Amino acid sequence: MDVLSAKMLAMGLAIVAVAGPGVGLAIAVKAMLESVARQPETEKKLSTYFWAGAGLIEACAIYALVVALLIGFVIK
């Protein structure tokens, strides 16, 4: 396997890592909506925690994207 093929494979694997946070965020949204549907009075408190968690989940996806770009454009 030459270097270019290895780089492309590594970039693909790094981008696949974005699927994990995507699924995690979908599960978090589902859980929050179910909780608010059961107890509407907890919406404000749950919303605060949800946005903090969603930001952390999205940060993981952004890190995976940065790693893929670094593999593609920086590593020779």
Number of domains forming the structure of the chain? 1
Taking the C-alpha atoms of residue 68 and residue 5, their distance in angstroms, rounded to an integer, is 14
DSSP string, 30-46: HHHHHHHHH-GGGHHHH
> Whose CA is closest to 65, among 16, 28, 5?
16
* Helix or strand run (H / E) with residue 13: helix 3-16
Q: What is the pLDDT of residues 17-29, one digit of tens each?
A: 888 899 999 999 9
CATH number for position 15: 1.20.20.10
Q: What is the pLDDT of residues 46-72, one digit of tens each?
A: 999 999 999 999 999 999 999 989 988
Per the listing, tokens 């549907």 go with 37
Instruction: Tell me which residue range forms the domain holding 28.
Output: 3-73
Query: Measured at the alpha carbon of residue 64, what is the angle toward residues 59 and 65, in degrees to the nearest 5?
Result: 95
